[in-house]
Structure 1
Amino acid sequence: MEGAESEKQCARKVRPVLERHHLLLVTLLIVNTSANEALPIFLDEQVPEGISIVLSVTCVLMFGEIIPSAIFTGPNQLRIAAALTPGVKVLIAIVFPIAYSISKLLDCSTNSTHSSVLLSPNTLRKQPLLKPEPDPELDLEIATPNQRKHRRQQALASGTRLIVDEIIIIHGTLDLLSKMVTEVMIPMSKIYMLEIDTKRNHNTMADILASGHSRIPVYETRRSNIVGLLFVKKLIVLDPDDARPTRDLVLRKPILVAPNGSCYSMLNEKGRSHIALVTKDKEIVAWCWSS
């Protein structure tokens, strides 16, 4: 159970009542119907028939539909539900002889254990909750940290609204399974690499530092012939004046992935390597590295 401690306490109060949802449903319907029918009968004895109809319809509409809907759909609905739980339990006890038998009938006819609804990623994207509200004043590119913090506070106050940053993250997560690695990979021509016989002198070390990478692919003869990854942190203990070739260092082999591999499958490779090599011939490349 997640959330603040006060929300957890409210959830603990409400949960026992919600677990027997058919009993709760039947109880509320019986009480609601009884109140709706009793009100015009009571008013009939106090005022003329026409006025009693107008009053009963107005009271039922305002106090039975509009006002409760406005209150119980707000951000404090869990706290209100927890506060009213004792009263609901009293109503359940009053109508229990009737409500229990009907609720058991509903349990048997509709299967009391409702299975979870499985939604596809495309269906989830269409949910109103995952659609940001357009607001030109809250453009992410010009938003300052304070504006982002204020936006986050507004989202929390609304109870259900997600900010644009969160929606982008959720959409990205939903795309992981369907998005192929070829859609996010960096072309070989744009990757900073080192030739295996490159001398590790002062100029080379300066270039490596300027690249800003912690791992650098190393190739032999041609750029497509990658033989391993150079860990930049290993260069700390080396003396540039020695100008030794890169092949003298221990190179780590990157992960191999096919072009049709999904980004989700690569997420499961977390911890094995920071770089993956996309190739159509995984087995051949792996064999060449091992031989």
Structure 2
Amino acid sequence: MSIGILILLLVTALILEGFFSGSEMALISADRLVLHKAAQAGNKGAKLALKLVSKPEHVLATTLVGTNICVGFQATLTTLYVYKHLGPRFELYSVLMLSPLILLFGEIIPKTIYQRYAEKLAPVIAPFVQVASWLFSPIIWVLRHYTDWLSRRLQPLEELVTGRHQPTHREELRYLLTYGQKETSLKSSERRMIKRILDFSKAEAKNALIPLIKVDMIEDTLTVNEALEAFTRHGHSRLPVYHERVDNVIGVLHVFDLFSEQDGNKPIARTMQTAHYAPRNSNSRRHSRRNCR
């Protein structure tokens, strides 16, 4: 094999390696909101890119297999050529010659370029990555099942050592609300509402307190009919029930509990539910669940 053919094969393998390593970076780094917007506009490449990034482990396996095949091909080809023409004593030179080329042109430069133009390149490279995943599917199947098995074994150890848990969908939503403002059509009021829902699990009961003078309440001496009129007037589904003084709340009345009462003159004290009291610094989510039972 001539030196010209060797260089041609090495350059081809180096370009393919750069493609696989760069494709991994582009698909993982691409903003999904931008891809989703392009897909809605009819961009087939963006649709395929979204399909691929929905399974990041599959993309990583495909690019990893492709990169390793290219690196192995370059190393084998160079080593055989050096061994044949220069002898076994010069095999180390093949490693010294290839390592900087692979690191620079096969990893650093492609990943930098693909990450910078991730949203533009992801729809273009998606079809080629899809074809590669079909070609490497037997190897990917083995890798996927092995990594799944290994991750299940190592995850408890990782959480024990680092003290951290895997990110949740709640954190991903909070990230999108913070950094994806330009790509979403949510109003500022809707964004605030979603953030409050996401933060509700960390909220304390004192944050939900309302002054008694602003609370709609009913007295325990009211009848069922009188209570229904109060619900109609205030427009609530639940009302606190007090005894003699408004600061003496003894129960909570749900409007649906009154619908099953046939006697309209029946006192609501027999229908209301017991009021639950909570410390000011207790968790709001826990008490909300208890009150919904």
- TM-score, length of structure 2 as denominator length: 0.46
Normalized per residue, the structure richer in helix is 2
- TM-score, length of structure 1 as denominator length: 0.46
